[in-house]
Amino acid sequence: MMIEERIIAIRQELPPDVKLVAVSKFHPVEAIREAYAAGQRVFGENRPQEFFRKVQEVAAWKVHEVPRNEVEWHFIGHLQTNKLKLVLPYAQLVQSVDSQHLLDAIQDWGKANGRVVNVLLELHIGAEQTKTGFKEEEVLDILFRADKYKNVRFCGLMGMATHTDSEADIRADFARIADFRAYLQDLFPELTDFRELSIGMSGDWRIALDYGATIVRIGTAIFGERQY
């Protein structure tokens, strides 16, 4: 099945209000071109250097191929503070803010550059200790101080379910983050942009839809196995 066919098949199952992020990491820019030709406009990368390179390559396409600002870029991986300049000028959404240190650095960058950066706070919901992200109490602490982040727009939560074959465990993870987002929306009604729930990847995005996902991040199911 070609990239175009995969995108069409996924879109047929996605509700119209759910955003599909095509995760193009480790795939050549030609694969992005194929996805773009199939109507895909939102792409995600998880490594700063690769993100920056692909943004530049896509921007170099002929103007009649890709009108300015038509492609939307999301950064979905761990972001080191010394790599902010490769990502923040170009990302419409940083989905993976996973530490207080990174959040503070984004605020400082935004203030210095006169920008407001759209972010999701990454909640650690999976069982793996190697996964990054905040605990619930840390997210609460940040949002109680949200007015201190004048150059950050808090748009919602992101999370990754436990890597397991147990659907029950995956559902428990997604239920936990969905319930927490609902709690935060009730607790902080002034955060009117806090609407997004980015959960679900190639292996579990259909389950994520049952828990109110507004964004799904799909790579392998669109582009095939990664090309390292």
Q: What is the pLDDT of residues 168-214, one digit of tens each?
A: 999 999 999 999 999 999 999 999 999 999 999 999 999 999 999 99
The CATH-assigned architecture of domain 3-223 is Alpha-Beta Barrel (3.20)
pLDDT in tens, 56-111: 999 887 555 655 568 999 999 999 999 999 999 999 999 999 999 999 999 999 99
pLDDT in tens, 2-36: 999 999 999 999 999 999 999 998 899 999 999 99
Q: Is the predicted pLDDT of residue 113 greater than 90, yes or no?
A: yes
Show me where the domains of the chain are located: 3-223
* Mean pLDDT (the chain, rounded): 93
Q: Is the predicted pLDDT of residue 216 greater than 80, yes or no?
A: yes
Has this prediction a pTM greater than 0.85? yes
Which tokens sit at 182? 């609902």
- How high is the pLDDT of residue 60? 85
